[in-house]
Chains A and B, each alone.
Chain A
Amino acid sequence: MTHFFLSNLTRRTFMTGLASGAAMLGLSGLAQALTPATAKALVNQVVDDINTTISSGRSESVMLQEFERIFERYADVQTIALSALGPDRRRASQAQLRQYVDAFSYYLSRKYGRRFREFIGGRIEVQEARAVRSFYEVQTTAILRGQAPFSVVFLVSDRSGRDLFFNIFIEGVNMLASERTEIGAMLDRRRGNIDALIQDLRRT
């Protein structure tokens, strides 16, 4: 049984194994850390941070950095990264996976941090949360100038050890699915070379 260690990025030990995985599954049923209220609280925090940044009146480049930090703080980037890589994970070494998650984190927070810019001049209102299988879905509405209000949904889980969001749907468009397509295409372009993919992610 090997332990799979990825503490570098998230400053926590990510330990799995058939036994520990099963134990975690059992424990998560007992621990009851995440409730609709705490899931909603997390999204409220994210939205507050976004709204505070938007209304801070700082320069756009400062705002971009803040948006990137919001992503790093509240998203389960490791799960998003590994899920985006898909089955190719199986042929990557642990060192490669560590580097990949690190490079992906940089790529993702830059890419989506930039997207929060679209919310400048608007606001996001948190609606309700509900349980979907092992995670929570938190509905929000984005109200932007000159546009009809639209739906933004955050999916929140505590399976990483902390309450973090692992997916966003903007009017039905799913971030995780887009990233799976994107990473798949980037890997194809490099003929499946994971090290080249890592370099490309760092260059974004």
Chain B
Amino acid sequence: MNFVSFKVIRSGIACILAATIAGCSVPDQPTEIHDPYENTNRRIHDFNRNLDRAVVRPLSQGYGEGVPSRAQQGISNFAANAALPGQFVNAVLQGDVEGAGKNGFRFLVNTLVGFAGILDPATEFGIPEESADFGETLAVWGLPEGAYVELPVLGSSTERDAVGTVVDLFTNPLSYALEAPANALPPAANLASAFGTRYQFSDTIDSILYDSADSYAQARLAYLQARRFEVGGENPSEGLVDPYEDPYDTLLLE
């Protein structure tokens, strides 16, 4: 307990000293779980889980079953397309010319030919979505992942990704280009699309949140693995423990 609060204070001081935008606490190994705020995170996790059970899950069920699937697809296409300028900016910030080109091309084609992005002809032309966000940009710039955090409502994140999420509120040029009534459309479509995603992956999400013995630990593991895979793109089996060379095997024999 004392140790935990010491670490929190220490990492807080490190944050102030660093005076950078992210990278407050650093795990020794990128494959490890670094979770100094576990007690707080678990309380937030309980809150998020209750919120999901009472509100998000029922609403997503209503959305998934009530809205025709073609309309759902159109809404999530529109939301994804409206996010593309932000992803273009992040790809540029990462020096990822190919990603920037693909995202730029997708945005032009889907906006002009795909009825403001409701259709997704770019994917049919073989240019699928290439996600990029500011958390990833920070990773490319060399900022460490920081501690695992669970954010209220938003869920699993890391210190680096939490900063990225905040900054990404401002990285999409489209949000400055659109005027009063039209600028409400992308956030609304985003919210609807989030319900659609919750519905689409209902089996997986339910199994993590409601069927596992420790939903906090499962959500944390799944998030960190998926996110590291997405950001780093490295091969996940490299750092893996080989179960056939498990040290416990030999101990079983005595």
A→B interface (CB under 8 Å): 1-2, 4, 16-18, 21, 79-80, 82-83, 86-87, 89-90, 111, 114-115, 117-118, 132-135, 137, 146, 148-149, 151, 153, 155, 157, 159, 166-167, 169, 171-174, 176-178, 181-182, 185-186, 188-189
Contact = CB atoms under 8 A, between A and B. Distances in A.
Contacts of B229: 151, 169, 171-173
A159 B244 CA distance: 7
Residue among A114, A115, A185 with most chain B CB within 10 A? A185
15 contacts: A2-B253, A2-B254, A4-B252, A89-B251, A114-B203, A118-B204, A132-B235, A132-B237, A134-B242, A146-B200, A153-B236, A169-B237, A173-B221, A181-B214, A181-B221
A162 B129 CA distance: 39
Given A118-B203, A173-B222, A174-B225, A18 B240 contact: no
B250 A21 contact: yes
B179 to A, nearest CB: 31
B28 interface: no
Interface in B158-193: none
Interface residues of B, number: 40
B240 A90 contact: no
Interface string B211-254: 01110011001100110111000011110111111101111111
Interface in B51-104: 73, 76
B39 interface: no
A174 B240 contact: yes
B128 interface: yes
Nearest to B207: A111
A189 B213 contact: yes
A89 B253 CA distance: 11
Nearest to A136: B237
A189 B212 CA distance: 11
A132 B236 CA distance: 11
Nearest to B246: A83
Contacts of A79: 243-244
Contact of A172 (B236, B244, B249, B253): B236
B248 A172 contact: no
Contact of A153 (B76, B207, B237, B253): B237
A33 B119 CA distance: 49
Contacts of A182: 212-214, 218
Nearest to B208: A178
Given A90-B251, A115-B204, A182-B213, 20 more contacts: A1-B253, A21-B249, A82-B246, A83-B241, A114-B207, A132-B238, A133-B242, A137-B235, A137-B237, A148-B123, A153-B236, A153-B237, A157-B244, A159-B244, A167-B240, A169-B236, A173-B222, A173-B229, A182-B212, A185-B212
Contact of B221 (A115, A135, A178): A178
A185 B213 contact: yes
Interface in B105-140: 123, 128-129
B128 A148 contact: yes
A134 B249 CA distance: 16
Contact of B242 (A2, A117, A135): A135
Nearest to A197: B213
B248 A181 contact: no
A16 B252 contact: yes
Contacts of A166: 243-244
A177 B221 contact: yes
Interface string B33-57: 0000000000000000000000000
B213 A174 contact: no
Residue among A4, A117, A133, A166 with most chain B CB within 10 A? A133
Contacts of A146: 73, 76, 200
Nearest to A158: B244
A115 B208 CA distance: 12
Contact of A90 (B128, B207, B235, B252): B252
Contacts of A173: 221-222, 225-226, 229
Contacts of A167: 237, 240, 243
